[in-house]
């Protein structure tokens, strides 16, 4: 007969399998990582890691600029070099979020300051 520890280990394993099945089902419905995380009860970085581990592309449009809010894909307004720089920047933000999960990284504040600096530079 299985001990309580063995039973708990199997319960955790089966719960993990069910979460992964749920994430895959939500992914195939076209949900983005943040939505999958909310539905499956896990963190967004967990979904992103799971998706990368399983070699699944993002369901988002562009690299986050044209999510469900109706934005414009960055590829339509930036040249390829600028897109690469933006991908690197966004990757850094994700890494910071993983490293400091208890702190909110405010991209909106960054973008406001960036636009202000850009306006000063342009004219």
Domain extents in the chain: 1-59, 61-123
DSSP string, 59-94: SSSTTTTTSTT----HHHHS-HHHHHHHHHHHHHHH
CB 72 within 8 A of CB 78: no
Choice between 3 and 94, residue whose per-residue pLDDT is larger: 3
pLDDT in tens, 11-47: 888 888 888 899 999 999 888 888 899 999 998 888 9
**Residue 123 pLDDT level (bands cut at 50, 70, 90):** low
């Amino acid at each position: 007969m299985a001990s309580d520890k063995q039973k708990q280990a199997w319960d955790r394993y089966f719960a993990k399998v069910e979460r992964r099945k749920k994430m895959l089902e939500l992914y195939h419905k076209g949900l983005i990582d943040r939505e999958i995380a909310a539905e499956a009860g896990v963190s967004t970085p967990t979904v992103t890691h799971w998706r990368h581990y399983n070699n699944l592309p993002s369901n988002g449009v562009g690299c986050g600029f044209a999510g469900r809010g109706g934005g414009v894909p960055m590829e339509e307004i930036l040249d390829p070099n600028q897109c690469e720089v933006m991908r690197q920047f966004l990757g850094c933000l994700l890494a910071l979020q993983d490293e400091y999960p208890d702190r909110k990284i405010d991209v909106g504040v960054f973008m406001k300051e960036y636009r202000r600096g850009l306006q000063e530079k342009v004219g």
